[in-house]
Structure 1
């Protein structure tokens, strides 16, 4: 069960005649703008609890019966977002593009803000939605993607978000990025078939190597910074490189040393000091370069340059 957390917003605080407009405004803030319809034979009821998590937002919503639609260009935001919807109780039908799903307890859906969509709540609903910038799901099928409760990975993902909804306000701010990374790792595994993992890892390694090649001069280049730019967790990046012959850090180090060795042998760089070359390729000082160069090539940078190799 999700721990009880007081809602940030509820229709119970509004006069009955203002509740429909209140729900439109509140859902527009938390779930992106929607054109909403309410049933004449059902009360307008809604409770919303919002948790900011790093660059994402986790929204817990309890609502009565209603429906809505959103057209392209009506999100009111410049960047595309993705939403991971998890139904905890009740029933909701959602259509986006060619995908139409009937979601019940335990089912999940990955959707995109840039596509037209419609929904209808058929039974009083309790759901969670994790909203993230689309760039955080680089390399993942963009959605919409149905994730039925019958899949084990969907169950793990749902359990993680359910627990997070109850504990989010107790998570230190410095750790919120980690808990979102865990959700993203679970989501990637839920969206993609297990048999596709090797090709996913291959693509991730290729993308990481491209970043490394373009950033060798940056002293702050690290597995963590590369993972951030790729929109994956460091753990996921390390798992991809585990299927190669080198770690991420070893790949960065080897390629930097190769560039240094090339410069040392280049007559056009003859007037450049060892320290200048070290800084050029992201080393923080000449001593660090010398130690790593000798460990790799069996000689110091100065000796290598002197031989004219």
Structure 2
């Protein structure tokens, strides 16, 4: 599992909680000035995931106003870009030249070298914060600066890829080892660079390797969204991304499998999860297979047995039986 730390303002006396949260923000992002309607008993929590030079921190906070002032910038500037994926709640961001309202599925973006103010709404806000050192972004240094976007949608394009990656990583870190942290940080850095380039319409500014990694992520996201289509082929994937089939195969040379094999693996994995879901125990196996792009039951059974060593019916029976609570002993 990835290394992570959990912080809660309840760990200190009520009167000290807002100051404690200000200290957390100074360590996680940059020195800020804070005020809140709940200053006497401020409630907030934060998980900090270790991703090497990149920092990611899901958090839930009560109403608060954050201010990054010119004086604080002169005192200390970590030279980072901050992005927050809004999961629940609302907020308003203000700069000298702009005001933006943030809602769920929006990405709020700030530059530690620029003054700003963020006011969260009356209801608690849940978000996923991301700190990316500017020096790590594979972009020309003069491209960002004053022109980084203040807001980006997380429902489409690169924003959706970034939001999906953040959400999945927050939900389950168990598949990863601590040594995977820097690699995941690199993936997030590439996605942020691609998001900036897309928003500023300067996609060619991305260095070639960053463009390649981002394209692979986009292709994998496209495949995941179309697993239900039994006719999905590498040719369809290539056409959807305006590249040749040979170029697509070249992109996957260093991946875990070829394009066709990767599609099949993802379909089998999705079907396997459904087979072990107690809520779907009465759903016929052929219906699950069809849902994930296997219209022929025989083909699904053979592919499943080859991947997991047993037929899907046996696998389902074994897994569901192992998750059932043991019966209570009967009294004599």
TM over 0.5: yes
Matched, 1:163 2:132: no
Residue of structure 1 in register with 2:134 after alignment:
134
Aligned residues: 211
Q: Deviations over 1:175-200 (max 9, x none)?
A: 22322222233333333339946633
Residue of structure 1 in register with 2:177 after alignment:
172
Residue of structure 2 in register with 1:67 after alignment:
65
Q: Deviations over 1:77-110 (max 9, x none)?
A: 4541111111111111112342321111110022
Alignment gaps of 5+ in structure 2: 218-242, 245-249, 251-332
Instruction: State the alpha-carbon separation in 1 of the partners of residues 96 and 174 from structure 2.
Output: 35
Instruction: State the alpha-carbon separation in 2 of the partners of residues 28 and 198 from structure 1.
Output: 32
Whether the 8 Å CA contact 1:90–1:105 is kept in 2: the answer is yes
Q: 1:40 to 1:9 in 2, by over 3 A?
A: closer
Residue of structure 2 in register with 1:235 after alignment:
213
Q: How does 1:2-17 map to 2 (within 5 A)?
A: 8-17=6-15
Residue of structure 2 in register with 1:116 after alignment:
115
Instruction: State the alpha-carbon separation in 2 of the partners of residues 124 and 61 from structure 1.
Output: 10
Instruction: State the alpha-carbon separation in 2 of the partners of residues 179 and 233 from structure 1.
Output: 16
State which of 183, 191, 194 in structure 1 corresponds to 2:196.
191
Shift of 1:25: 1.6
Whether the 8 Å CA contact 1:97–1:115 is kept in 2: the answer is no
Instruction: State the alpha-carbon separation in 1 of the partners of residues 13 and 20 from structure 2.
Output: 10
Residue of structure 2 in register with 1:98 after alignment:
97
Relative to the length of structure 2, the TM-score reads 0.55
SS in 1 for 2:27: helix
Shift of 1:136: 1.7
Residue of structure 1 in register with 2:23 after alignment:
25
Relative to the length of structure 1, the TM-score reads 0.58
Q: 1:149 to 1:13 in 2, by over 3 A?
A: same
Bigger Rg, structure 1 or 2? 1
Shift of 1:44: 1.4
Whether the 8 Å CA contact 1:68–1:119 is kept in 2: the answer is yes
State which of 38, 56, 59 in structure 2 corresponds to 1:58.
56
Instruction: State the alpha-carbon separation in 2 of the partners of residues 197 and 190 from structure 1.
Output: 10
Residue of structure 2 in register with 1:84 after alignment:
83
Root-mean-square deviation (CA, aligned residues, Å) is: 3.4
- Give the 4+ runs in structure 1 shifted more than 6 A: none
Instruction: State the alpha-carbon separation in 1 of the partners of residues 27 and 186 from structure 2.
Output: 24
SS in 2 for 1:193: helix
Q: Deviations over 1:124-179 (max 9, x none)?
A: 10011111211122235342431024433322211111112233465223322322
Whether the 8 Å CA contact 2:31–2:76 is kept in 1: the answer is no
Instruction: State the alpha-carbon separation in 2 of the partners of residues 235 and 156 from structure 1.
Output: 12
Whether the 8 Å CA contact 1:42–1:64 is kept in 2: the answer is no
